[in-house]
């Protein structure tokens, strides 16, 4: 499967770039870009890690849900001429509903070997969505269009497309809302209670299955928001989901499974390392360097940066 184009807007790495811009400025640029795009990955990964924490499943479908979000924005933009960011007002509730429906139809039925079966069931869901998307939109790469994708802003000698800045602001707003929801509301308290101990939570009167279906909906909606930002910064086709889901899974392993702040830090670390390596060395090696660092981290800290050691489950 071809890699999606690098997230770097203007500068491609390799020889010559270093002489032209100098080491420090390249590293700074890599970090800035990494933080801006890291926000997008944080949106998708926080959905995945929430779903993992509350539902105790590995949602392999998160990758294709991101791509589905990108295609929904594509449809709204291309056929109804709705602005990408305004279109989120339509796609987010729509995807929330889809998430609740998927949870009700498939995830809720998993009782035996829940985690491993969830990999297969969500993979099957992903296949169905991928097939349908491929049928309607073919496997050709698509791009989202808007003025702020083409327009750039001069940033200390480098040009960055406005869409990176807008997407970053979107991520901050949505993630702030998510943190507020999880840590400051009574729904969030119930959510965290079901994350810690499902049985105990249901014993004190929390409707855990309702919390679970809402959480899956939120995760799906976050995927849609991330999908719009992903589609605005990358060309995508239905098979982009494989690359996405592998990155997202790596992010949540790095941050620690089930940890929201871990997903946040993990995304930024991943994208920053990737972008700096891409600028200094070569784009083809950027993910490899990150993966090797991940392997080293796992040797010393198997539970990830913010994860807790897995206790014994009874």
Partner 1 sequence: MKILRRGGLLALLVLMLVFPVLLSPNTAVTDIAVYTLIYAMGATGWNIFSGYTGYISIGHTVYFGFGAYTMALACQYWNIPGGYLPFLLLPLAGLVAGVFAIPLGALVLRTRKYAFSITTIAVLFIFQLLGFNLTGITNGSRGIFLPSPPWDPNLSDLPFYYVAFILLVIALFVSWRIRHSKYGLGLLAIRDDEDRAFGLGVKPGPYKLSAYVISAIFVGMAGAMFAYFIGTIFPQFVFDPVVDVNLTTIMFLGGLGTLSGSLIGAVLVVPLQQWLTLLLGASSLNLALFGSVLLVVLLVLPKGIVNSLKTRWIAWKASHPKAEARVNDAASQERAVLAERREVL
Quick one: 70 exposed, middle or buried, by C-beta within 10 A (0-12, 13-18, 19+)? buried
Site of tokens 């270093």: 18
Sole binder of partner 1 in the list 26, 32, 58, 221 (CB under 8 A): 58
Site of tokens 């969505």: 129
Site for partner 1 contains 310 (CB under 8 A): yes
Q: Between 80 and 309, whose beta carbon lies closer to partner 1?
A: 309
Q: Which stretch binds partner 1 (CB under 8 A): 13-21, 197-205, 250-258, 273-281?
A: 250-258
Give SS3 for 234.
coil
Site for partner 1 contains 103 (CB under 8 A): no
Site string for partner 1, 279-308 (x = CB under 8 A): -----xx-xx--xx-xx--xx--xxx--x-
Q: Which stretch binds partner 1 (CB under 8 A): 22-30, 122-130, 196-204, 222-230?
A: 122-130
Neighbours of 56 (CB within 10 A): 17
Site for partner 1 contains 200 (CB under 8 A): no
- Cβ of residue 252: shortest distance to partner 1, in angstroms? 7
Q: Between 227 and 256, whose beta carbon lies closer to partner 1?
A: 256
Site for partner 1 contains 88 (CB under 8 A): no
Sole binder of partner 1 in the list 252, 265, 272, 276 (CB under 8 A): 252
Sole binder of partner 1 in the list 86, 89, 120, 177 (CB under 8 A): 120
Sole binder of partner 1 in the list 155, 162, 179, 242 (CB under 8 A): 242
What's the CA gap between 95 and 106, in Å, rounded? 16
Sole binder of partner 1 in the list 34, 38, 238, 266 (CB under 8 A): 238
Site for partner 1 contains 124 (CB under 8 A): yes
Quick one: 235 exposed, middle or buried, by C-beta within 10 A (0-12, 13-18, 19+)? middle
Site for partner 1 contains 128 (CB under 8 A): yes
Contact 133, 238 (CB under 8 A): yes
- Cβ of residue 45: shortest distance to partner 1, in angstroms? 12
Sole binder of partner 1 in the list 134, 143, 155, 192 (CB under 8 A): 134
Cα–Cα distances (Å) from 18 to 22, 27, 121, 161, 281, in that order, read 5, 10, 47, 22, 9
Cα–Cα distances (Å) from 250 to 46, 83, 247, 290, in that order, read 12, 32, 5, 10
The number of residues that bind partner 1 (CB under 8 A) is 53
Contact 290, 274 (CB under 8 A): yes
Closest listed residue to residue 231, CA positions, set 44, 11, 12, 35: 44
Closest listed residue to residue 46, CA positions, set 180, 232, 141: 180
Contact 156, 33 (CB under 8 A): no
Contact 294, 250 (CB under 8 A): yes
Site for partner 1 contains 51 (CB under 8 A): no
Tell me which residues touch partner 1 (CB under 8 A). Answer: 1, 58, 106, 109-113, 115-117, 119-121, 123-135, 138-139, 238, 242, 246, 249-250, 252-253, 257, 284-285, 287-288, 291-292, 294-295, 298-299, 302-304, 307, 310, 312
């Amino acid at each position: 499967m071809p890699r999606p184009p690098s997230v770097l807007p203007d500068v491609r790495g390799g020889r010559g770039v270093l002489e032209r811009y100098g080491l420090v400025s390249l590293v700074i640029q890599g970090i800035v870009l990494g933080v801006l795009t890291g926000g997008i990955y944080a949106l998708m990964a926080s959905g995945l890690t929430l779903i993992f924490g509350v539902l105790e499943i590995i949602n392999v479908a998160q990758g294709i849900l991101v791509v589905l979000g990108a295609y929904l924005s594509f449809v709204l933009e291309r056929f109804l001429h709705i602005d990408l960011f305004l279109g989120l007002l339509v796609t987010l509730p729509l995807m929330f509903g889809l998430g609740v429906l998927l949870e009700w139809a498939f995830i809720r039925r998993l009782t035996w070997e829940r985690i491993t079966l969830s990999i297969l069931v969500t993979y099957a869901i992903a296949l169905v969505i991928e097939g349908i998307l491929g049928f309607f939109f073919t496997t050709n790469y698509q791009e989202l269009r808007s003025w702020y994708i083409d327009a750039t802003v001069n940033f200390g000698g480098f040009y960055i497309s406005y869409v990176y800045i807008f997407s970053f602001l979107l991520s901050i707003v949505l993630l702030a809302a998510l943190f507020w929801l999880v840590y400051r509301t009574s729904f969030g308290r119930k959510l965290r209670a079901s994350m810690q101990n499902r049985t105990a939570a249901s014993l004190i009167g929390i409707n855990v299955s309702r919390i679970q279906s809402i959480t899956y909906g939120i995760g799906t909606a976050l995927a849609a928001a991330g999908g719009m930002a992903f589609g605005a910064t990358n060309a995508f086709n239905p098979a982009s989901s494989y690359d996405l889901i592998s990155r997202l899974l790596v992010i949540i392993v790095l941050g620690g499974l089930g940890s929201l702040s871990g997903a946040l830090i993990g995304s930024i670390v991943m994208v920053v390392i990737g972008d700096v390596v891409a600028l200094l060395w070569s784009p083809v090696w950027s993910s490899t360097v990150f993966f090797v660092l991940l392997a080293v981290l796992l040797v010393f800290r198997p539970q990830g940066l913010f994860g807790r050691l897995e206790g014994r489950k009874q």
